[in-house]
A and B are shown apart, each in its own frame.
Chain A
Amino acid sequence: MVTPTTGLALAVCTLAAFTAIGVWYSRGRVGSVEDFISARGSAGQGATTATLVASVMGVWILLSPAEAGAAFGGVTAVAGYAAGEALPMLVYARLGPRIRDLIPEGHTLTEYALARYGRAMYAFVLGVSVLYMFVFLAAELTGISQALALTAGVPRWQTAALVGGFVLVYTAYGGLRASIFTDTVQTLVILPLLVASAAGAVLALGGTGAVYEHVVAADPNLLNPGFAEGLRFGLWVGVAVLGAELVNQTWWQRIYAARDAATLRRSFTVAAVANGVVVFLAGLFGVVARGYVDLGVTGDGAYRASVAFFVLLGEAFPEWVAVAVVLLALLLVMSSADTLVNALASVVTADLPRLLDDPSDRTLTRAARAFTVVVAVAAVYVSLRAQSVLRLFLFADLLGAAVMVPLLAGLYSRRVSGPGVLVAGLAGLTVGVVHFPPEVVRGVVAAVPVVGAVLPAPSFLRAFLGAAGVSTALTILAALLGRSTFDLDRLSRSVRRLDERSSDSAGEEGER
């Protein structure tokens, strides 16, 4: 256990150091709104890979994968989770060059949705993307507050306010450029800390032999590679993560920030390996925790699998490992929070030229900074007020699973239309919702007359596979039967740089 004073001092020093790095690097590098939200062509392979790793690696990696390992199926569940995190990066390694080729001056996925499909699909994608990113951001602040409260006894509001405040300072000042540079440095610290924490933990527990004996004694299925429950969990969580990441604006920004298409492909591929193995390693902590502490998984005692990593930390590790983990958690939350704050600000900023009358670059840059402040303050507030923010995560994932294929099909097919993909997405979502287990959604659906009486049994597997499968099948049908012949070259004319935007191009949108 780390004392509250040590925890707070560590937090302030870490946050201040990275804020200084972000501000220092950004000085003189943010000349326009383009620099602030797209940093177009500025990142080499090392920086692009690092920012892809750091942006994914939030403090959630110390919570969710460990919970999966402890409570949802041991190593098989963890392997599925890891594959789910790696897959979107591999998909983007193929999608990214296509996106840059078709929309060379783009910024956001919502710009693409508007230009390709029109207002209805744009509104759907905007809602899904913003909900997912905001829930992710608020959950990160909730997670770090919870982690520091458990390991160092720091009051939750202090942690949330400190992290939100410091991240706000350098993100509002330096935008995406500051985020990418701090991500790069953070990756170089996060990965060694993760390795040191993992190795230190295993050695502190008596080596892999002793750990193995404890885990098998607790439940041999935790180390059963063919455990059906774990395989089922791995399958649906993989689809859930893929759906969420394919509507995540964060990656669209980095597709444009990469120096060129080859850099983009290599970086996303290396990041796929890194993200997969990091999540796997983090998940193993949950498996290990089951061997040493009572997490309430079998029904006895309070359920603590969601904080398995920190429970184990408090009971079994020497103080230096605990300090390393607190530092790791802070870096993890900073690296994803700055990314999400800037991504959310970019979605709104890229839409402003359509809403305002020919705004100047200076107006747009100021607006982007103002939105950064609003997003950060709102996220701190929500993280402190809404205890159930984590429940929204799965619903946001479900929305992503339903919309991912309909949204991205338009990059390849000229024949899919806005109404066609909207119907496909909504049909997939309907199938997902009627199978979705959490009571907060199921209770609402069950209250609908007629529907409530024929509601199928709840199942995450059927919800996510149903949402993705039905929307994919209907999108393929729409592409086969559709009569639309959208000119994909029009995307590059519709979506233009914000600092060179002409008033005539601003009005061109959607399929007509």
Chain B
Amino acid sequence: MTAAMGPAAFAALLWGSVALVVAVLAYEAVVLVREWGG
């Protein structure tokens, strides 16, 4: 028996991962701007 996740869960997993990378990038950019600016 296999129980693949549904299409909505797959989409959430994929786009959620992309969103998390974007969030880390935005956070990192803000920290760097503060450091380089200050």
Cβ-defined partner of B14 (8 Å) among A184, A208, A220, A270? A208
Which residues of B from 9 to 38 have beta carbons under 8 Å from A?
10-11, 13-15, 17-18, 20-22, 24-25, 27-29, 31-32, 34-36
Instruction: With both chains docked as a complex, state the minimum distance between the C-beta of A65 and any C-beta of chain B, in angstroms.
Output: 12
- Cβ–Cβ contact A208 & B7, under 8 A: yes
By a CB distance below 8 angstroms, the chain A residues around B24 are: 191, 270, 273-274, 277
Instruction: With both chains docked as a complex, state the minimum distance between the C-beta of B35 and any C-beta of chain A, in angstroms.
Output: 4
- Cβ–Cβ contact B17 & A270, under 8 A: no
By a CB distance below 8 angstroms, the chain B residues around A202 are: 14
Interchain residue pairs with CB less than 8 A apart (16): A44-B35, A46-B31, A46-B36, A75-B5, A194-B21, A198-B18, A199-B18, A208-B7, A212-B10, A215-B10, A221-B2, A221-B4, A225-B5, A270-B27, A270-B28, A284-B17
Nearest opposing residue in chain B for A74, CB measure: B4
Instruction: With both chains docked as a complex, state the minimum distance between the C-beta of B6 and any C-beta of chain A, in angstroms.
Output: 8
A50 within 8 A of B: yes
- Complex CA gap A49/B32 in Å reads 10
- Extra inter-chain contacts (17) besides given A274-B21, A277-B20, A281-B17, CB under 8 Å: A45-B35, A49-B28, A50-B32, A75-B5, A75-B13, A188-B32, A195-B21, A208-B11, A208-B14, A213-B7, A220-B4, A221-B4, A223-B5, A225-B5, A270-B24, A284-B13, A284-B14
By a CB distance below 8 angstroms, the chain B residues around A75 are: 5, 13
- Complex CA gap A315/B2 in Å reads 29
- Complex CA gap A290/B10 in Å reads 15
By a CB distance below 8 angstroms, the chain B residues around A223 are: 4-5, 10
Q: Which 4 A-B pairs have the closest CB atoms?
A: A46-B32, A46-B31, A208-B11, A220-B4
- Complex CA gap A274/B24 in Å reads 6
By a CB distance below 8 angstroms, the chain B residues around A225 are: 3, 5
| Interface flags, A24-50, vs B, CB<8A=1, else 0 | 000000000000000000001111011
A216 within 8 A of B: yes
- Cβ–Cβ contact A45 & B31, under 8 A: yes
A224 within 8 A of B: yes
- Cβ–Cβ contact A187 & B4, under 8 A: no
- Complex CA gap A284/B31 in Å reads 29
Interface SS, A side: helix
- Cβ–Cβ contact B22 & A195, under 8 A: yes
A222 within 8 A of B: yes
Number of A-B contacts (CB under 8 A): 92
By a CB distance below 8 angstroms, the chain A residues around B36 are: 46
Show the binding face of B for A, using Cβ within 8 Å: 2-5, 7, 10-11, 13-15, 17-18, 20-22, 24-25, 27-29, 31-32, 34-36
Which residues of A from 43 to 60 have beta carbons under 8 Å from B?
44-47, 49-50, 53
- Cβ–Cβ contact B2 & A220, under 8 A: yes
- Complex CA gap A227/B5 in Å reads 11
By a CB distance below 8 angstroms, the chain B residues around A213 are: 7
- Complex CA gap A223/B3 in Å reads 8
Instruction: With both chains docked as a complex, state the minimum distance between the C-beta of A488 and any C-beta of chain B, in angstroms.
Output: 33
Instruction: With both chains docked as a complex, state the minimum distance between the C-beta of B31 and any C-beta of chain A, in angstroms.
Output: 4
- Cβ–Cβ contact B3 & A224, under 8 A: yes
By a CB distance below 8 angstroms, the chain B residues around A341 are: none
- Cβ–Cβ contact A195 & B25, under 8 A: yes
Instruction: With both chains docked as a complex, state the minimum distance between the C-beta of A66 and any C-beta of chain B, in angstroms.
Output: 14
By a CB distance below 8 angstroms, the chain B residues around A452 are: none
Cβ-defined partner of A191 (8 Å) among B2, B13, B25? B25
By a CB distance below 8 angstroms, the chain A residues around B15 are: 208
- Cβ–Cβ contact A224 & B4, under 8 A: yes
Nearest opposing residue in chain B for A187, CB measure: B28
Given A209-B7, A223-B4, A224-B2, answer yes or no on A188-B21 (Cβ-Cβ < 8 Å). Answer: no
By a CB distance below 8 angstroms, the chain A residues around B32 are: 46-47, 50, 184, 188
